[in-house]
Amino acid sequence: MKNIRSYNIEDIKKILEGLGEKPNKSKLIYYWLWKKNVSSFDEMINLPENIIEHLKANYTLNKVIIHSQQKSSDGTIKYALKLYDGNIVEGVLIPTETRMTACISSQVGCSLSCKFCATGKMERVRNLDYWEIYDQVCIIKEQALLHYNKDLTNIVYMGMGEPLLNYDNVLKSTQMCISNDGLGLSHNRITVSTAGIAKMIKKLADDDVKFNLAVSLHAANDEKRSRMMPINESNSLQVLEEALLYFCNKTEEKVMLEYIVFDNFNDNPKDAEELSSFSQRVPSKINLIEYNSIGDSEFINSREERLQIFKDILYKNKCTVMTRRSRGKDIDAACGQLANK
């Protein structure tokens, strides 16, 4: 059976016309599918029974469900989410005093093999469909209300997979999260993070996307970045910089440069100067991230005294800098740790 959520509203009108029904009921079906995110056709309580029975007999919803969950001592909750085909992805609810953030996945596994990332050690099995990405958000939104009595405020595409290698589905999912037919979130509350697929960054600009863009940089030096991130071999810093400048100039928005600070690898004064220079050339903010161990990595987190010297150089060079403290480390829910544990 076909997934009804792969149909747009015009397709649903045609289904109804084939049943001899008025096409305006398509808006009701669309409302139940997306705004209410129902788990079964029987929940569409104000539709005629013949329509319900036809949908049940010919279509499926292929819902994502919670397989298991773990709660951190800091309140972060990690969810193993089961897809219709039995594959598992992970999503995370990150609560703070001012935000309720859903960290969601875009692929089952990943093909980029970044050395500091647990997901990078997995094979890429498949892309997620846009309704599967949307389901993750809806599930974590429900969980935020259940556990904290607070609504979801932010979405970050920083879970498993590389979002820009699942371009169409990621864009469709963000559009549904922003649309009043879906969750109605502000586009400023959505951030998509990429390892730096240059041609797709340019495509984002051409498609006039409405969300924030973050780039996993982690070194402003080709030799060091290639050592950590094989994608840099085909998307060098020069190529990436050109793509980011294209994006920033066309969208008139800054990007976020994510930088995990590794001890005695990318945290020395020269690294700070290189990062400052890159940030000054590309309209951006810098987000310094502590490293979260994945067990067998060659990297360790930067020491506080080295990190402070690093930050002082960035401040001296007039960079806009934030420091992200990890959440959920005790349940392997922090940045870079998602791997179906």
Reported as a single tens digit per residue, the pLDDT across 171-224 is: 999 999 999 999 999 999 999 999 999 999 999 999 999 899 999 999 999 999
Say yes or no to pLDDT of 324 above 80: no
Q: Which pLDDT score, from 0 to 100, does residue 246 have?
A: 98
- Close Cβ partners of 219 (under 8 Å, ≥ 6 residues apart): 225, 228, 259, 266, 271, 274
Cα–Cα nearest to 91, from 82, 166, 14, 237? 82
Q: Give pLDDT tens digits for 3-33.
A: 999 999 999 999 999 999 988 899 999 999 9
Q: Which pLDDT score, from 0 to 100, does residue 126 have?
A: 96
Q: Give pLDDT tens digits for 46-85.
A: 999 999 999 999 999 999 999 999 999 889 999 999 999 9
* C-alpha to C-alpha distance for 155 and 206, rounded to whole angstroms: 23
Beta strands, E only, 159-199: 190-194
Domain boundaries, given as residue ranges, for the chain: 2-60, 65-331
CB 209 within 8 A of CB 255: no
Catalytic residue selected from 43, 53, 90, 253: 90
Say yes or no to pLDDT of 156 above 90: yes
* C-alpha to C-alpha distance for 258 and 41, rounded to whole angstroms: 42
Q: Which pLDDT score, from 0 to 100, does residue 121 have?
A: 80
Q: Which pLDDT score, from 0 to 100, does residue 332 have?
A: 54
* C-alpha to C-alpha distance for 120 and 113, rounded to whole angstroms: 4
| C-alpha angle 126-64-66 in degrees, rounded to nearest 5 | 115
State the pLDDT confidence band at 328, using cuts at 50, 70 and 90.
low
Report in angstroms the alpha-carbon separations of 298 from 115, 117, 160, 264, 335: 8, 11, 21, 11, 17
Domain range 2-60, CATH class: mainly alpha
* C-alpha to C-alpha distance for 323 and 105, rounded to whole angstroms: 23
181-184: long-range contacts, CB 8 A cutoff, minimum separation 24: 181/30, 181/31, 181/34, 181/35, 182/34, 182/35, 182/134, 183/137, 183/138, 183/141, 183/152
Token duo for residue 218: 């982690």
21 is catalytic: no
Q: 319-328 burial by CB neighbour count: b if 16+ within 10 A, else e?
A: bebeeeebbb
Catalytic residue selected from 103, 117, 138, 335: 335
Question: Amino acid identity, residue 211?
Answer: F
* C-alpha to C-alpha distance for 326 and 335, rounded to whole angstroms: 7
Q: Give pLDDT tens digits for 248-293.
A: 999 999 999 999 999 999 999 999 999 999 999 999 999 999 887 7
- Close Cβ partners of 185 (under 8 Å, ≥ 6 residues apart): 152, 155, 177, 178
Q: Give pLDDT tens digits for 226-246.
A: 999 999 999 999 999 999 999
Widest CA span in the chain = 72
CB 330 within 8 A of CB 73: yes
Whole-model pTM: value is 0.92
Q: State the average pLDDT for the chain.
A: 92
Token duo for residue 181: 């037919």
State the pLDDT confidence band at 136, using cuts at 50, 70 and 90.
very high
Q: Which pLDDT score, from 0 to 100, does residue 329 have?
A: 58
* C-alpha to C-alpha distance for 275 and 289, rounded to whole angstroms: 14
Q: Which pLDDT score, from 0 to 100, does residue 326 have?
A: 63
Just give the CATH number of 65-331: 3.20.20.70
177 is catalytic: no
